[in-house]
Structure 1
Amino acid sequence: MKIIALFFTGLFLISCGSDDASTSPIPEETMYFPDNGTSVWESKSITSLGWNQAAVQPLLDYLELKNTKSFIVLHNGRIVMENYFNGHTANESWYWASAGKTLTATVTGIAAQEGFLSINNKVSDYLGTGWTSAPIAKENLITNKHLLTMTSGLNDALGDDVSPANLQYVADAGTRWAYHNVYVKLQDVVAASTGQTWDTYFNTKLKNPIGMNGMWIQNQGLSVYWSNSRSMARFGLLALNNGKWKDTQLVNSNFMQQATTTSQNINLAYGYLWWLNGKTSFKLPQTQFQFNGELIPTAPNDLYCALGKNDQKIYIVPSRKLVIIRMGNAADNENMALSDFDEILWEKISAVIN
């Protein structure tokens, strides 16, 4: 009787184990990272994601109509869409414009985690006094964080020139948000604090580890990044993964979280040189007017993005594991960052992914 009881007990345990195995969840797909120095990049299909194939062609038609050069969609790191328009090719470079501000923010975060600088220290600790034409007491209020958050208090109406004569006091740092190219002084702070050129430190700490191509090109005193489209997508993938590339945490995840959440209470839709969706209000370049509502109402609430002149875009949507990039000429009229194009483009994207 004991032998029979043990036999049936064994069958019961096997049966339970089998049931548990059949109902266990399917392992979540791991995030994919392309290797450096190769054109190989894993892909997946629209249909495998259950997206709307019928909405793809209207999206592509709209992109081409609106002067787009390249458009890439990554899902969990894998390419779902990669399209080139108007004679542009995968190997050609294009400018990031102000979307490249996020490169500067990221490398500033790397330099901070390596102990070369503190974002809370004043800029003059690294550049010396006189880097602006503001009174010294007012200049010394400006910290690296103020440059990251566009709250330097310097006059944003004097053009792109960031020479001391053109960096004039308007308000105390931290009391006024204004989109200003003074952020580029962070590159000088990184160079001064590390004892390396900006290009060298950038290449060593960010460009080379994630396999980007491209270079910084000087344009009227500003460094503007140029690269191919996949390099922009690589950087977007790093951001989606909170600063981690494969098994290496290149920039502290806490810094990335701070960079992609509201950084001050003047413009809720701005982090550390990243734009943020899903907030109750926002401000735009070249105006002090506060707009009520979300930055891009047709986009997911958790979207954050790098926006550059004439509609250079890196969209990150953590909840959907998406990176979307768009490079090209201005969709309509010349613009500094956000344009009406964003809202309509997201209507077209949403028709595909929903």
Structure 2
Amino acid sequence: MGKYFKIGVLLFFLSIAYFGFTNYPKLELISGFSSKNVASAHFIDKRSKKDIEKNDNDFDVISWASSQINEAEQSATATVLGLKKRKAIYREGLGATLINDNFDVTKPYEIPKRTKSNNSLPFPYGDLEPKDTFFSNVDYTKLNQAVANAFDAEGYNDKKTRSILVIYKDKIIAEKYVEGFTKHSLILGWSMTKSVTGTLFGILQKQGRFDIYKPAPIVEWQSDNRKNITTNDLLHMNSGLEWEEQYDKICDATKMLFEAEDMSWSQLIKPAIFKPNTHWNYSSGTTNLLSGILRKQFKTHQEYLDFWYSALIDKIGMHSMIVETDMVGNYVGSSYAWATTRDWSKLGLLYLHKGNWNGEQLFDPSWAKYVSTPTNTSEGRYGAQFWLNAGGKYPSAPKNMYYCSGFQGQKIFILPSQDMIIVRMGLTDDHQFDFDGLLKGIVGSVKKN
């Protein structure tokens, strides 16, 4: 008995040692994710720490972290078993930022100037409630069933959908929220933010202020083979630059989001390992590099901060949206935009109408075709900061559908042939949630006129 007990104790301590050896390097990333997510969800969407930890930070190794909120200094901290303490601070107008020990919290900072349209129009072009509209070609029973099926039945928690919004011919025909969320709830879009960032280049191009087909304006690349990389290559994730994006391990993407002071620098310093336009590779670092390129188009930091809102976000009435910044003031264009479900839908509507927002042309109609045309070597999966169905990922949806997509299943589906936008926000992606079934049910409920 004593012999087996000793062996058991030895195996126990060996397992503890192995666990520590393999996971200790990840602890800083875990506590970083937790503190950042708690700070953002609490101070932006006013949710409680208990709710955030139970519903947002309860997956994989992130659940190991314990968080605390400091209301007075508007911050959140997190540790893993008391180790690797990380802190995120909230600043009005800039959202929550994960900081390090070198960050000066007393340093003055600029915030974006916001403008709010003041009109008496209903959604989507104004702030009034949408008018009730009945379409004779819509099977509302089938539609509502498809939407209801996207949510968990009582006693279950596997689909984890938070909201569904369906817009047909500019009218809301279905809208549903899980308990605890409403049309006023701000939800993190994660990588749907990439589509916001990409759109700004379309706006600059229409204004004659930027040419995406010229070599990217990056001084550090001019003395090596990266000098031939164009902004067009970057928008298509086809630059040939080295990058690893895999969130279950320490990689380029996780180090950027949870350690870097200047996230635009993370991709900039990487070498080219392929020729441009020969190797598609999804990279959040590339989008944050694009955010850095945008910053250099303006004389002042204030102009850069304002442009995102004045040229796009507030221009189309996405007044709830806030895009968060890194430690040096760059918008984290890869990942950190928050907005209500209705406001997220407006980005889709802008593309459905090929850049025309209630009579004003924000980008050329050709830009919508540009972002929805498959990138070379992506096998029909990707365009320019938008995902595509050209390769048939969702067989029940039309091939010309394209969409914004974010971590844990944030989606804005743009269906030009159906004159339809479908938004789904939640906490589960394709491996857990049946997006094809959702699309099949909604699209199948509307007969073409």
Tell me the TM-score range normalised by the shorter chain. 0.7 to 0.9
Asked whether the 8 Å contact 1:303–1:316 carries over to 2, the reply is: yes
Which blocks of at least 5 consecutive residues in structure 2 are unaligned? 1-121, 154-158, 245-250, 257-262
Counterpart pick for 1:216 among 312, 323, 334: 323
Question: Considering only CA atoms, is the larger Rg found in Structure 1 or Structure 2?
Answer: 1
**For residue 215 of structure 1, what is the amino acid of its counterpart?**
I
Separation in 1 of the partners of 2:390 and 2:408? 23
Counterpart pick for 1:201 among 278, 297, 307: 307
Q: Give the 3 Å change call, closer, same or farther, for CA 35–196 of structure 1 in structure 2.
A: farther
Which blocks of at least 5 consecutive residues in structure 1 are unaligned? 1-31, 280-293, 334-338
Larger RCO, structure (CA 8 Å, separation 6 or more): 1
**For residue 416 of structure 2, what is the amino acid of its counterpart?**
P
Separation in 2 of the partners of 1:184 and 1:242? 25
Separation in 1 of the partners of 2:374 and 2:242? 22
Q: Give the superposition deviation at 1:250.
A: 0.7
**For residue 175 of structure 1, what is the amino acid of its counterpart?**
T
The residue matched to 2:338 in structure 1 has which SS?
A: strand
Q: Give the 3 Å change call, closer, same or farther, for CA 116–48 of structure 1 in structure 2.
A: same
Which aligned segments of 4 or more residues in structure 1 are displaced greater than 4 angstroms? none
Separation in 1 of the partners of 2:410 and 2:223? 37
**Is 1:106 aligned to 2:199, yes or no?**
yes
Asked whether the 8 Å contact 2:278–2:377 carries over to 1, the reply is: no
Q: Give the 3 Å change call, closer, same or farther, for CA 183–40 of structure 1 in structure 2.
A: same
Q: Give the 3 Å change call, closer, same or farther, for CA 194–323 of structure 1 in structure 2.
A: same
Q: Give the superposition deviation at 1:326.
A: 0.8
- Could you say which residue in structure 2 is the equivalent of 1:323? 421
- Could you say which residue in structure 1 is the equivalent of 2:380? 268
TM-score with structure 1 setting the length: 0.76
Counterpart pick for 2:145 among 51, 54, 57: 57
Identity across the alignment (%): 24
Q: Give the 3 Å change call, closer, same or farther, for CA 33–264 of structure 1 in structure 2.
A: farther
**Is 1:94 aligned to 2:187, yes or no?**
yes
TM-superposition CA deviations, 1:219-254 (whole Å, max 9, x none): 698341111111111111111000000111011111
**Is 1:342 aligned to 2:435, yes or no?**
yes
Q: Give the 3 Å change call, closer, same or farther, for CA 233–58 of structure 1 in structure 2.
A: closer
Separation in 1 of the partners of 2:305 and 2:130? 27
Counterpart pick for 2:211 among 87, 105, 118: 118
Counterpart pick for 1:174 among 277, 296, 302: 277
- Could you say which residue in structure 2 is the equivalent of 1:129? 220
Counterpart pick for 1:35 among 89, 107, 125: 125
**For residue 445 of structure 2, what is the amino acid of its counterpart?**
V
Q: Give the superposition deviation at 1:159.
A: 2.4
Asked whether the 8 Å contact 1:191–1:201 carries over to 2, the reply is: no
Asked whether the 8 Å contact 1:75–1:323 carries over to 2, the reply is: yes
Q: Give the 3 Å change call, closer, same or farther, for CA 243–332 of structure 1 in structure 2.
A: closer
Alignment: residue pair count: 296
Separation in 1 of the partners of 2:300 and 2:210? 13
In angstroms, what is the RMSD of aligned CA positions?
2.5
**For residue 179 of structure 1, what is the amino acid of its counterpart?**
Y
Q: Give the 3 Å change call, closer, same or farther, for CA 331–153 of structure 1 in structure 2.
A: closer
Q: Give the superposition deviation at 1:187.
A: 1.6
TM-superposition CA deviations, 1:37-90 (whole Å, max 9, x none): x23223424x63332514523531333451111111111111101111131111
Separation in 1 of the partners of 2:410 and 2:326? 17
Q: Give the 3 Å change call, closer, same or farther, for CA 146–353 of structure 1 in structure 2.
A: same
**For residue 206 of structure 1, what is the amino acid of its counterpart?**
L
TM-score with structure 2 setting the length: 0.61
TM-superposition CA deviations, 1:142-170 (whole Å, max 9, x none): 21111110011122214222534762332
The residue matched to 1:193 in structure 2 has which SS?
A: coil
Counterpart pick for 2:361 among 224, 236, 249: 249
The residue matched to 2:297 in structure 1 has which SS?
A: helix
